Amino acid sequence: MNKSHILSLLLAIALFLSIYKLAEVKNEIKNTSESTSSKEEAILSVIHNRKSVRNYTDQPVSDEDITTILKAGMAAPTGFNAQPWQFIVIKDRNTMMELRKELVYARGLDGSPAAIVVCGDMTKVREEAPEFWITDTSAATQNMLLAMEGMGLGGVWSTLYPGVERMAHARKVLNLPEHIMPMCVIPFGYPTGVEKPKVKFDANNIHFEKW
């Protein structure tokens, strides 16, 4: 093999390696964008499939799943990162029925295997914005409802705040101290499948730049 043969061989090897590397990089880019779009699809599907679920099967919800839901709740954004919340997990049907007695709108409590009462903790609020307990616990509530949807569970935001009597009733049944404000109760469980998501998108609600 003379010098020019060796040079051609080396050039061919270099060319092959470059093409191979290029193909590898291209493949990597393709895989990344594919996994990004499937991630997007997954999160958007959870958001758009969430619905208020008021009818449940008899299947109990595991403690592990309840912890997962609570973790999702506590991942919510809060003003000043105050996290001014407390959560009461209820699995006792007697407590749920006691709550239900004066909560005419909380139909979900009739047959739910579990419920979470979302509360504001006034000892954790910031002086500058004490009312943020309302928005912060609302964000936590929505996070938990989305987590439930993603886990094949379903729940319904059942109002306590701002009903003075509803809040007083929850306070009494759950033995809440003065600084704890009940925001809502979320009955939840495995859906029977009767509830379907509603399409609510309306372009008329959107404004660009200014009204």
Ligand X SMILES: Cc1cc2nc3c(=O)[nH]c(=O)nc-3n(C[C@H](O)[C@H](O)[C@H](O)COP(=O)(O)O)c2cc1C
- Find the binding residues for ligand X in span 44-83 (CB under 6 A): 51-52, 54
Give the residue among 130, 155, 141, 124 at the shortest CA–CA distance from 184.
141
Q: Could you give the CA distance from residue 209 to residue 141 in angstroms, rounded to a whole number? A: 30
Q: Count residues binding ligand X (CB under 6 A).
A: 12
Q: Could you give the CA distance from residue 56 to residue 115 in angstroms, rounded to a whole number? A: 12
Tally the C-alpha atoms within 13 A of residue 117's C-alpha that lie toward its C-beta: 28
What is the enclosing helix (H) or strand (E) of 87?
A: strand 85-90
Q: Toward ligand X, which CB reaches closer, 52 or 83?
A: 52
Reported for 166-172, long-range contacts at CB under 8 A and 24+ positions apart, including other chains, are: 166/102, 166/103, 169/99, 169/101, 169/102, 169/103, 170/99, 170/103, 170/117
Q: Is 107 in the site for ligand X (CB under 6 A)?
A: yes
Bridge partners of 115, per DSSP, are 90, 187
**Residue 156 Cβ, how far from ligand X at the closest point, in Å?**
5
Q: Toward ligand X, which CB reaches closer, 198 or 210?
A: 198
Alpha-helix residue ranges (DSSP H) falling in the chain:
3-49, 63-73, 93-100, 132-150, 164-174
Q: Toward ligand X, which CB reaches closer, 148 or 156?
A: 156
Q: Is 158 in the site for ligand X (CB under 6 A)?
A: yes
**Residue 59 Cβ, how far from ligand X at the closest point, in Å?**
21
**Residue 154 Cβ, how far from ligand X at the closest point, in Å?**
9
Which position's Cβ is nearest ligand X? 105
**Residue 162 Cβ, how far from ligand X at the closest point, in Å?**
9
Among 83, 95, 135, 159, interactor with ligand X by CB under 6 A: 159
Among 66, 96, 106, 176, interactor with ligand X by CB under 6 A: 106
**Residue 170 Cβ, how far from ligand X at the closest point, in Å?**
12
Site residues (CB under 6 A) for ligand X? 51-52, 54, 105-108, 156-159, 198
